[in-house]
Amino acid sequence: MTNSMNTNSFGLILKSFSGLLFLICVMGIALFAPYGNFKYHLAWIYLCVFTFSVIAITVYLFLFDKHLLESRLAAGPVVEKRTTQKIIQSVASLAFLGVFVLSAFDYKNKWSNVPSSISYVADLLCAAAFVFLFYVFKQNTFLSATVEVQEKQQVISTGLYGIVRHPMYTGALALLFCTPIALGSFYGLLPVLVLAVVIVYRTFDEEQELKQKLDGYKEYCEKVKYRFIPFIF
């Protein structure tokens, strides 16, 4: 039994970090290929912030919530069960890559004029967004990367979930909007706007699914009025 648990744990951590390595490599290619060389210092700073933040959250989940870590690893259009979500995830993936590609072209060709000090502040805000996401993960073990109702899933209505219904998307949007600025680009915000629209549409679709299949979710929506931003949306 112990050997089996050790093997499963090793497989989980290996899968987690190999997935992270793949993601960082894709992000790196999307940044450095359009820029033309590896001297894009703002990209290096951002990748460090992103990598260390994700590693910290991954290690925490591995130690204290393997269930959530495992459910977060199954992500992307391939693993979604419904066609609507497959399309949403496909568009989101392309727009996500577009953020880095367009930001790199922008910074290289100096289309925007983002002061370095503003980019550094944006890096700090990206780190803060990851801290926010950490607390979201800590409060909800049912945060699957796909739209589904898990076995024994319950409505979480305390902590950040007592303020907005989808704090994970709040943190993700904050991270996305700060990313192009951290990379020295304003034009990179254009694909972020596409991502924001996709996330909003995904949220509406997700809520319909939860209202139908998760006991107490309708009542939760009546209690917590706002999805992302208190008093606004």
High-pLDDT (> 90) share of the chain, %: 73
Residue of 222, 205, 130 lying closest to 170 (CA atoms): 130
Inter-residue contact 232 to 226 (CB < 8 Å): yes
**pLDDT tens digits, residue range 76-100?**
676 667 788 788 889 999 999 999 9
Buried b (16+ CB within 10 A) or exposed e, 27-61: bbebbbebbeeeebebbebbbebbeebbeebbeeb
Count CA atoms closer than 13 A to 26's CA, side-chain side.
12
Q: Rounded to whole angstroms, how far apart are CA atoms 145 and 75?
A: 5
High-pLDDT (> 70) share of the chain, %: 93
The pTM assigned to this predicted structure is 0.91
Provide the 8-state DSSP code for 81: S
Sequence letter at residue 32: F
Inter-residue contact 149 to 72 (CB < 8 Å): no
Average pLDDT (136-147) is 84
Q: With bands split at pLDDT 50, 70 and 90, how would you rate the model's confidence at 5?
A: low
More confident residue, 76 or 205: 205
Mean pLDDT, rounded, of the chain: 91
Provide the 8-state DSSP code for 232: T
Average pLDDT (17-24) is 94
pLDDT reading at 4 higher than 60: no
**pLDDT tens digits, residue range 40-50?**
999 999 999 99
Q: What local confidence, expressed as pLDDT, does residue 51 receive?
A: 97
